[in-house]
């Protein structure tokens, strides 16, 4: 497994959840209450697509299985 700062550290199901959450929050910008707070959805969307969370990297966390099959 890669040990760099941008190594994958999110499990596949967590990535899916982040993308869904990000799209849901972004939808608040275009439909519904049309609030600018929906732009915060870019954070989980991007981290879900890329597969790495910088905060996880800083604290040395990972939700990947121990066999490194992320």
Q: What is the pLDDT of residues 10-61, one digit of tens each?
A: 999 999 999 999 999 999 999 988 888 999 999 999 999 999 999 998 998 9
CB contact at 8 A, 48 and 18: yes
What DSSP element (H or E) covers 48? helix 42-50
Entry pTM? 0.85
Cβ neighbours of residue 67 closer than 8 Å, sequence gap 6 or more: none
Q: Return the domain boundaries, the chain.
A: 12-59
List the beta strands (DSSP E) in 1-70.
none
């Amino acid at each position: 497994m890669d040990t760099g700062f941008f190594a994958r550290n999110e499990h596949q199901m967590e990535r899916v959840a982040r993308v869904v959450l990000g799209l849901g929050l972004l939808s608040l910008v275009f439909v519904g209450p049309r609030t600018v707070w929906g732009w915060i959805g870019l954070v989980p969307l991007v981290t879900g697509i890329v597969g790495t969370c910088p905060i996880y990297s800083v604290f040395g966390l990972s939700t990947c299985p121990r066999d490194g099959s992320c």
